[in-house]
Amino acid sequence: MIVLWILLGIAGLVLLLLLAAVLHTLMIPNRQSTYIPDPDPERATGYAEKLSAMVRCETVSVPGEEQREKFLAFHKVLEELFPLVHERLEKTEIDGSLLYHWKGGKDDRPLVLMSHQDVVPVEGEWEHGPFSGDIADGKVWGRGASDTKCSVMAFFQAAEELLAAGYTPPQDVYLSSSCTEEWGGDGCPKIVAELEKRGVKPYLVCDEGGGIISEPIGGIHGNFAMVGVFEKGKADVKFTAASEGGHASAPKAHSPVARLAAFVNEIETHPVFRRKMPNEVAAMFETLAPYAGFPLKLVFTNLWLFRPVLLKALPLISAQAGAMIRTTIAFTMMSGSDACNVMPQEASVCADMRFIPHQGMEESLGIVRKIAEKHGLKMEVLSANDYTEPADIHGEAFNTVQRVIGETFPGCAGSPYVMTGATDSRFYQRICENVIRFAPVIYGPEQMKGMHGLNENIEYNCLPGAVDFYKNLIRAMV
């Protein structure tokens, strides 16, 4: 009887908690994301033509290769497209990377607008040539159209138009663009070193990374400004299994490939990294909650109750969602013997790891190393950097960006989120506390799919809004 009363009490408590959650949810008004780009065909087509010219200049970057001349050719295109910027701003070229200084009324809170010139290589068959810059079906087509020559074009154009109007920014403005972002090269570090040499400490850095995302979570419809406030860390790691080799007709147990397979299987089937919801992710769900249907709204609005359930469910909802709450490891490359009938003396597998703040680089690598040793593997860290410190989502700089988003894109909610990839902006962390990752263009499903893939494109009706965002952000730096 006592057990029954205890069970009834627990059931009653659960019902009370659920009732409280439901009532809390019902008190929050439903909202809709209403932002769509204003029709402005004259500006949109003019900007599309400029972006097209930039896309036609092939700027694929290759690790370790000297490619300065290729990027100098791209700089010539920029000079032709944005003459006032090149006439009135101080330009510094560093091995193909670019830094422009626009002197403002003050220099105590400088603004850096940045995005990269380089693009990833091209594979496969494209509907439009990858460097054609075709303007068709309301889009600019080609490698770099969305990643990220669109934002380079937009902030250069913003400066060009403000200069044409005789405008002087309230604070110094720097335009920064490296040519090695796609492989994490030394282009941006050299730019940062140059700013350090000049004693410049930016108040705000605005890079790519986030964007105006169509349907950021399944079931939440419309365009939302997703503002990246920190990046996960990254490591490339190699695991090697050795043996004496031999003929495959008489295989010994625990071969290199078998040990690697057992190691990969353990990592893949037994979660080894803790799941925890960063404050920035919780803020994202709370921002998006009013735009969701009732089931999602109930969960997102009441994280005090549903957080444990959500932590288990997010990796099942999407890989992107799961990556925002834990360190990840993805196995990407393998090697073994050169013949089917030869046991390898050495086999290896490589992995890409991404570190979350609550379980950073050292701890995450240590966990994986212990499992590798259990399977008799050698672990080699080829490259690694830890996560970046988050921007303060309650601070003045972030709120300024949010205000400018609201002014520029009416009806578009702005939300913090976690960058699971890597950008050049991480190099600015050592000289700037407010590093924001937001490209002010619309990325729908087609654009997300084309990024680093086939048929990359951007819908050019969003380009006027991108230019206006940068103009408004420059004006806001008082």
pLDDT in tens, 104-161: 999 999 999 999 999 999 999 999 999 999 999 999 999 999 999 999 999 999 999 9
Task: Provide the pLDDT for residue 463.
Answer: 98
Pairwise CA distance, residues 188 & 385, whole Å: 15
SS3 category, 382: strand
Residues 186 and 318 in one domain: no
Residues 237 and 370 in one domain: yes
Q: Which residue has the higher pLDDT, 379 or 318?
A: 379
Query: What are the strands, taking DSSP E only, across 21-167?
Result: 90-94, 97-102, 106-114, 135-136, 139-141
SS3 category, 345: coil
State the angle between helix axes of 68-81 and 41-56 in degrees (0 to 180), rounded to the nearest 10: 160
Q: Are 365 and 232 in contact (CB under 8 A)?
A: no
Q: How confident is the model at residue 9 (pLDDT cuts 50, 70, 90)?
A: low
Q: Is the residue at 28 inside a domain?
A: no
Q: Is the residue at 13 inside a domain?
A: no
In whole angstroms, how far apart are CA 305 and each of 6, 14, 114, 241?
21, 10, 40, 45
SS3 category, 309: helix
Q: Are 226 and 216 in contact (CB under 8 A)?
A: yes
pLDDT at residue 248 is higher than 90: no
CATH number at 102 reads 3.40.630.10
How confident is the model over 306-316, as pLDDT tens digits?
A: 899 889 888 88
- Considering only the C-alpha atoms of the chain, give the largest distance between any 2 of them, rounded to a whole number of Å: 87
For a pLDDT cut of 90, what percent of the chain falls above it? 77
Q: Is the residue at 26 inside a domain?
A: no
SS3 category, 440: strand
pLDDT at residue 408 is higher than 80: yes
Q: Is the residue at 51 inside a domain?
A: yes
Residues 59 and 175 in one domain: yes
CATH number at 278 reads 3.30.70.360
Contacts of 22 by beta carbon, 8 Å cutoff, 6+ apart? 298
Provide the β-strand partners of residue 213: 224, 443
What's the domain range around 159?
41-230+388-476
**Closest C-alpha to 47, from 141, 154, 143, 203:** 154
> For the residues 266-272, what does the mean pLDDT come to?
93
Domain stop point among 332, 357, 385 = 385
> For the residues 332-345, what does the mean pLDDT come to?
88
The predicted model scores a pTM of 0.91
Residues 302 and 438 in one domain: no
> Hey, CA dihedral for 256, 257, 260, 266, is it positive or negative?
negative
Residues 378 and 392 in one domain: no
Residues 217 and 274 in one domain: no
Q: Are 174 and 99 in contact (CB under 8 A)?
A: yes
Q: Are 82 and 89 in contact (CB under 8 A)?
A: no
Structure tokens belonging to residue 199: 């004693």
Count other C-beta atoms under 10 Å from residue 244's C-beta: 7
Residues 69 and 215 in one domain: yes
Domain stop point among 366, 385, 404 = 385
Lowest pLDDT segment from 52-56, 74-78, 244-248, 289-293: 244-248
Q: Is the residue at 36 inside a domain?
A: no
Q: How confident is the model at residue 459 (pLDDT cuts 50, 70, 90)?
A: very high
Structure tokens belonging to residue 51: 């972006």
pLDDT at residue 8 is higher than 90: no
How confident is the model over 412-453, as pLDDT tens digits?
A: 999 998 988 889 999 999 999 999 999 999 999 899 898 889
Pairwise CA distance, residues 182 & 424, whole Å: 9
Task: Provide the pLDDT for residue 317.
Answer: 77
Q: Rounded to the nearest 5°, which phi and psi values hold at 135? A: -110, 105
> For the residues 404-410, what does the mean pLDDT come to?
96
SS3 category, 165: coil
Q: What's the full length of the chain, in residues?
A: 478
Residues 303 and 360 in one domain: yes
Q: Is the residue at 333 inside a domain?
A: yes
Task: Provide the pLDDT for residue 237.
Answer: 97
Task: Provide the pLDDT for residue 424.
Answer: 93
Pairwise CA distance, residues 320 & 211, whole Å: 15
> For the residues 247-261, what does the mean pLDDT come to?
82
How confident is the model over 378-389, as pLDDT tens digits?
A: 999 999 999 999
Q: Is the residue at 218 inside a domain?
A: yes
Task: Provide the pLDDT for residue 462.
Answer: 97
Task: Provide the pLDDT for residue 3.
Answer: 61
Count other C-beta atoms under 10 Å from residue 6's C-beta: 10
Specify the number of domains making up the chain: 2
Residues 126 and 247 in one domain: no
Q: What is the mean pLDDT of the chain?
A: 92
Residues 349 and 256 in one domain: yes
Q: Is the residue at 226 inside a domain?
A: yes
Tracing tokens 């419309």 back to the chain, one arrives at 222
Residues 226 and 237 in one domain: no
Residues 213 and 361 in one domain: no
Q: Which residues of 423-433 are buried (b: 16+ CB within 10 A; e: fewer)?
A: bbbbbbbebbb
Query: What are the strands, taking DSSP E only, across 8-155?
Result: 90-94, 97-102, 106-114, 135-136, 139-141
Domain stop point among 362, 385, 408 = 385
